[in-house]
Structure 1
């Protein structure tokens, strides 16, 4: 593979990291375009949707290179978005040698969280706060915090075995509802609906929905519609998981 093709491949790797970390389509396309132009490519056309990336770039000698990338999973990881943004600024300031560019991209791909306790802490705070915010008691907040740890554990296991996102959402919602029922039956919680609502806030695809609306506003209609459909399907999956447990137990909130 020629060096310019390898450079374009590394740039596409950086764009893939952005997209899979939850960045909006416009940011991904702009980053790829700027990095490619920094490496001497002329016209750079980028098409990005939620499941695919296509880049066509014209080299200095007039040769046209095209590469595609299939996107299978997306999550939210602001640390990776920030790291890729920093890499993009560095490249635009002074293009890095190919090997260094590859090494920087791989370092971002494999970066570890130095404070892994932040995510479970966020689960605890968000679930407990919303349970109380929507009218629950302090006991309901504590029960919601316990249920949030069930969500966190299932999410970690699902990510480890690469479980399909919609299936994972259904299972997470069902397990959370079952845990909420158990806390109420055990006398820890009082208002089942408030406990469930506090934990549902952890599952709502807020970033995906906001990004899809932003994409449609700036003209990326296809990506926006796909993102909105994805957010809607996840909302339906949340409702289905909760209904599966509540109906089986013979009651509704």
Structure 2
């Protein structure tokens, strides 16, 4: 049973790392444990850790803890993991079958150049959306977004801190925008900076936090709000530091 619980916890962590609601993760763990005859299951999950205690009919108690690492929003992986949860609940497969199914879950990501290209397009689109009417500004926003998209991929491979990554990318984007303004290529850096920073804004993180609060997961909701606020603060610090260094734009 310990091996089964270990695998169930791996599934729970995958759900959290894919962006699942915490309440659904706890329910999923309970359903899977019951499929193997558990009399009672106590699950406590947050974005920081998952703990489950299982009581079996013979009185045996099992407690295990596992920690999620990289929280994201991977809805394809989330959907397939939910399908695995339903299968385990209905069929109670062996530990070996569960392990094989977990290993088969898709963990692929978009190619880094596709993400970089998307960041360039998003930067240019928001540059235009927020009021720029200059083709030069939109082109520069695209190029900055593209270049920093590649840098962001490099930082991800180095497993850099998320706050440090956001600060560095915000700082470099602002630095490049101020530099081309000082060179006289464009009249103001505002639209380029705003356009690129939209790639960094933790909108999904804040939305997920509000979702958790509304369903009663107060602790997890507060953790996610704190994470989103710290991320937003790191973005702002990167921009403000550039303004201090350049003394604004004359």
Instruction: Please report the TM-score for the alignment, with normalisation by the length of structure 1.
Output: 0.88
Worse-superposed segment, 161-170 or 233-242: 161-170
Deviation at 1:9, TM superposition (A): 0.6
What corresponds to 1:208 in structure 2?
205
Matches within 5 A, 1:224-239: 224-239=221-236
Task: Pick one of 158, 162, 166 that aligns with 1:165.
Answer: 162
Alignment match, 1:5 = 2
- 1:56 is matched with 53
1:70-81 mapped onto 2 (5 Å cutoff):
70-81=67-78
Q: 1:122 aligns with which of 114, 118, 141?
A: 118
CA RMSD of aligned residues (A): 2.3
> What is the distance in 1 between the residues matched to 2:128 and 2:110?
31
Q: Deviations over 1:176-199 (max 9, x none)?
A: 212323444566655411111111
Q: Return the alpha-carbon distance in structure 1 between the equivalents of residues 77 and 218 of structure 2.
A: 25
Unaligned runs of 5+ in 1: none
The aligned residue for residue 153 of structure 1 is 150
The 2-side partners of 1:204 and 1:114 are apart by 20
**Which stretch has the larger CA shift, 50-59 or 135-144?**
135-144
Partner of 2:109: 113
Match in the other structure for 1:250: 247
CA shift, 1:24, in A, is 2.7
Cα contact 1:150–1:176 (8 A) shared by 2: no
1:129-161 residue CA offsets vs partner (Å, 9 max, x unmatched)? 111111012332222221112332232122211
How many residue pairs match? The answer is: 249
Q: Identify unmatched segments of 5+ residues in structure 2.
A: none
Which residue of 122, 126, 129 maps to 1:133? Answer: 129
Q: Distance in 2 between the 1:14 and 1:194 partners?
A: 43
Deviant stretches of 4+, over 3 Å: 113-118, 182-191
Name which of structure 1's ranges 185-194 and 10-19 shifts more when overlaid on structure 2. Answer: 185-194
Cα 1:64–1:176 shift into 2, 3 Å: same
Which has the higher mean CA deviation after the structures are superposed, 15-24 or 70-79? Answer: 70-79
Asked if the contact 1:44/1:58 (under 8 Å) is kept, the reply is yes
Q: Relative to 1, partners in 2 of residues 1:49 and 1:201: Cα closer, same or farther, differing over 3 Å?
A: same
TM superposition score normalised by structure 2: 0.89
